Chains A and B, each alone.
Chain A
């Protein structure tokens, strides 16, 4: 048996990859190339040898700074491109073919050009804006003046269209002003005006301030500008208001001008004379059209420059990002004493050593270096990182396990079993083949569009769904399977596998729900007989079946977990753990709950009426009493007594021996005389590196070890009960799911269908489909998912999984995605 286990072929996912700690000695001239080849390979995790140095004290700090500067420029280009509204086309990914120095010069040129263009456009835009504002002021203010004049010449005939834009104040005070206006807008009357344009958001405060500053001796007219002004720097459009202030006095003028300045209001002179006004307007218009042409040409030029940048942008960004990563990695390397070589250390999986060596040779060859890179394996004190080679399919499952904790190096990996057990336990809680088909369609859509979606940036929710698409696929397939067993399709049973085994006792029983049925032929071949549906004994029957099934599944999974702890102990050569932990644990769990499972199976096979609660409870309370009618098989009572005794013995067995044996070993080890026995001693530590062993045993603290063992034992003993009970959630959630879908089907859909009204039926259908989609397909999926997660993390992995490793993070260009943005 043991030989068979040892001779099993190794599987990728069973245990993490074997790692080795390697040292690279790279000649300085080929260092950059070597590191970038390694980055393309992506199988070496560098160890930072300069931890104590701050970032700006490291060797390649200048290059890192240059890269930072370049990526700043690239961000600037990107910003400009998006602002200019140029749609960037999907360029095929190209390997960067330019050198860093070349690129730096290019980027600097481009930036310079762009900044110059920007300042030009900005200046032009500013003048353009001013002219535009002037035109609007002329237009509106002219109307103010004109309307006022009109007002007193035509008299009562108010032109509403003209005064519509002016505020109420104007209309109210118009008559007051008439006297002054009649004498004309001239310097003699002392009434003057300032006209200009101000931001819409500031206009109320502006008016209030003017009112205060002049103590109310002013008249404020305003009209919204027709066009929005584009801010030359931010490219945002501002709504503006044309205003016109009438006032008298020199002091007021300086005050008002100061206020205008404070509010960033641009003032423009409007000639009073109508002919002069027209003349100015014409002038402004002609200059505007000139400027517009220049501005358009400038923008076209700029856009051309930007799109030529855009063409190469992705390539450059990738290059700069890679270069920065290379220099960051180079900064982790040490110079050796001669200052001619760089020394790097790191972890790599053993299978990758040849590939790494090839890459290093290639680097040496390509950079025409005379000295090759020296690559050799070293011992390390630290425990190696954990690395699993996953594919699209297994990755999501590995993520589920890693979310709990990354496996200790070479520990047996629960993800292998999770691939099947996780979707299966989910499906036990989510058993409905109608809902399962919906999920299946969803997951198939995700998988079909895999190649498209994987390139896009998704929202956090979609990202999660997409990442778990294969989990979803398996979950849906299993829930179709479980749904067929439960015989539920949106809670409706179907006669798929032939007719029901039951029928009415006689022809008179119209309602099969109330009167007993008789069995008249062989049992329904697969799953639950559809006749149970709606009968009075439906719930007791299904509850009993699901509860027992949950216990069986739970005990099976926990046993699997414990067997994995056995394999772990075997792998790490710790027979102590097998003898004093695995064996008593197996005995304890199986003598109680393994026995319960046995009883369940016997009861199912024999069709006995025995009460299992009673059997289990009295097994503890009075094991010697006669079982009576609940006896399932011969010799049950003595068997129960023996099992109980086993369980009682197992508790001290798992509690006491291990810490004492550890203590004995510890004292023996340091006596020196028994040094020779080490190799054959209980704990074979050969797999651990030397220094780790020394460290491990220097601080052996008996009380700590003992308390630790006590906690573990108590946790296991209590956990055996509570974990088994925890698996009953499988039944509870499955019950909740089927009851909820029954309610929605019967109380919503069937109720609505009983009316002969189209609208009510439609509403009923709508409510039913929404409830199905959001409550059953989303909420229930989520809750069943979480419960399956818990069962795996706590009940299953708690039996064997340490989960205290660190993940292998190789230096790889592929992992350098857009995380900087």
Chain B
């Protein structure tokens, strides 16, 4: 019931909302990033992070640090926080929290399947998986030869099973197939998440539909740009777009027929919220698009914290932390490879 959440929200959600807002307060600030960007070695980064909430996670690492260690430990912190919140959560918040991880699950499935296709070691692949998207039988993915087996053997037990209904074929797996599978799964996931949020109603539905619509639109643009010049037909491309969002349905029609990035820009500039993103880019430049989208997303995620009594803060917090970890990874890489001039290329300040 919209407008009356304040009356009952705190019975189940109050504690966790307070927790997540507390976690949000520990996100690194612009001052932190400025200090981090001045670091000379990875040890300096560790030293700076030891003053933040990452401290306990990094303090037992022996001195020659690697970027992967830093990222791994930072992710571990996020995962610990997530698991803690999931333990405390009751329905429907626990389902909502689980929905947040499905995206990682899809990525992990794709990672393992592509990895086995290229004959990589399974254990090695497992280490690369995002810990939030782990499920019990993930290692058995390597057994599957085609989509049908993939579904029947492993994924039928996972929450991803219903999303598979559209992409079960008996074809053998190849790179193209897998990429299409990823996007089909993602489409189904986003639509399902969207429906779930609508069902929750209230401020959660309002804010989440906004955030998810942005996510869907961003994916649509990315699919379009990535599929330019491949053998993907227009209809197939059209099928990969999620059936909601600001671009649905007319924008999708236009995106489906785009042949180069300038046409994409033309299609997108008709939508005022995206106009500003594309206005920042000079013509013919696709490199900075990711960063522009990330910046816009971070802005929207931060705004989610402005309203109280809704679940979108959990989604926003997880996303912001992930962005922070991406930032840390980029900074550490730049520091490790002595490319400090490029530090600012990909860092998205959160506050």
Contact = CB atoms under 8 A, between A and B. Distances in A.
Contact of B136 (A65, A205, A258, A261): A205
A209 B43 contact: no
Contacts of B229: none
Given A72-B62, A205-B136, A258 B143 contact: yes
Contacts of A69: 62-63
B44 A259 contact: no
Given A72-B59, A72-B62, A209 B137 contact: yes
A55 B143 CA distance: 51
B128 interface: no
B47 A209 contact: no
Contact of A72 (B60, B142, B153): B60
Interface in B107-145: 122, 136-137, 139-140, 142-143
Interface string A59-72: 00100110011001
Nearest to B40: A56
Given A55-B51, A205-B136, A259 B60 contact: no
B340 interface: no
Interface in A51-88: 54-57, 61, 64-65, 68-69, 72, 75-76
A54 B43 contact: no
A262 B140 contact: yes
A75 to B, nearest CB: 6
Interface residues of A, number: 22
B47 A205 contact: no
A258 B35 contact: no
B39 A209 contact: no
For the residues of A in contact with B, the DSSP-based class is helix
Contact of A262 (B51, B59, B122): B122
A69 B139 CA distance: 37
Contacts of B35: 54
A213 B143 contact: yes
A259 B136 CA distance: 13
Given A69-B62, A262-B142, 16 more contacts: A55-B47, A55-B48, A56-B39, A68-B47, A68-B50, A69-B63, A72-B60, A75-B59, A76-B60, A213-B143, A258-B142, A261-B139, A262-B137, A262-B139, A262-B143, A263-B139
Contacts of A262: 122, 137, 139-140, 142-143
B152 interface: yes
A255 interface: yes
B328 to A, nearest CB: 16
Interface in B40-78: 40, 43-44, 47-48, 50-51, 59-63
Contacts of A255: 143
13 contacts: A54-B35, A61-B47, A68-B47, A69-B63, A72-B61, A72-B62, A209-B153, A212-B152, A255-B143, A262-B137, A262-B142, A263-B139, A263-B140
Which 3 A-B pairs give the minimum distances between C-beta atoms?
Answer: A262-B139, A56-B44, A262-B140
Contacts of A68: 47, 50, 59
B38 A54 contact: yes
A64 B50 CA distance: 13
B47 to A, nearest CB: 5
Nearest to A54: B35
A213 B152 CA distance: 9
Given A54-B35, A54-B38, A209 B140 contact: yes
Interface string A179-211: 000000000000000000000000001000100
Given A209-B153, A255-B143, A259-B143, A56 B47 contact: yes
Nearest to A115: B62
Contacts of A213: 143, 153
Nearest to A66: B63
Nearest to A208: B157
Nearest to B63: A69
B143 A75 contact: no
A56 to B, nearest CB: 4
A75 B139 contact: no
Contacts of B47: 55-56, 61, 64-65, 68
Contacts of A263: 139-140
Contacts of A55: 47-48, 51
B292 to A, nearest CB: 30
Interface string A242-279: 00000000000001001101110000000000000000
Contacts of A56: 39-40, 44, 47-48
B145 to A, nearest CB: 9
Nearest to B156: A212
A65 B40 CA distance: 14
Contacts of B43: 65
Contacts of B139: 261-263
A422 B47 CA distance: 46
A59 B351 CA distance: 30
A255 B143 CA distance: 6
A262 B48 CA distance: 39
Interface in B135-167: 136-137, 139-140, 142-143, 152-154
Nearest to A73: B62
Interface in A260-313: 261-263
A309 B139 CA distance: 41
A170 B120 CA distance: 37
A75 B61 CA distance: 11
Contacts of B44: 56
Given A54-B48, A56-B47, A213-B143, A261 B122 contact: yes
A268 to B, nearest CB: 20
Contacts of B48: 54-56
Nearest to B41: A56
Interface in A503-542: none
A54 B152 CA distance: 56
A253 to B, nearest CB: 12
Q: From B62, B137, B153, name the one whose CB has the most chain A CB atoms within 10 angstroms.
A: B137
B137 A205 contact: yes
Q: From A64, A65, A262, name the one whose CB has the most chain B CB atoms within 10 angstroms.
A: A262
A517 to B, nearest CB: 58
A401 to B, nearest CB: 30
A571 to B, nearest CB: 41
Interface in A206-229: 209, 212-213
Given A54-B48, A263-B140, A212 B153 contact: yes
A29 to B, nearest CB: 27
Contacts of B136: 205
Contacts of A258: 140, 142-143
A389 B32 CA distance: 39
A55 B50 CA distance: 10
Contacts of A209: 137, 140, 153-154
Contacts of A54: 35, 38, 48
A77 to B, nearest CB: 12
Nearest to B141: A262
Contacts of B142: 258, 262
A255 B153 CA distance: 11
B140 A259 contact: yes
B137 to A, nearest CB: 6
A57 B44 CA distance: 9
B127 to A, nearest CB: 14
Contacts of B39: 56
B28 to A, nearest CB: 13
B235 to A, nearest CB: 34
B46 to A, nearest CB: 9
A61 B47 CA distance: 10
Nearest to A79: B60
Q: From A56, A64, A255, name the one whose CB has the most chain B CB atoms within 10 angstroms.
A: A56
Nearest to B34: A54
Nearest to B153: A212
A61 B48 CA distance: 11
A213 B38 CA distance: 54
B110 to A, nearest CB: 17
Interface in A393-450: none
B8 to A, nearest CB: 32
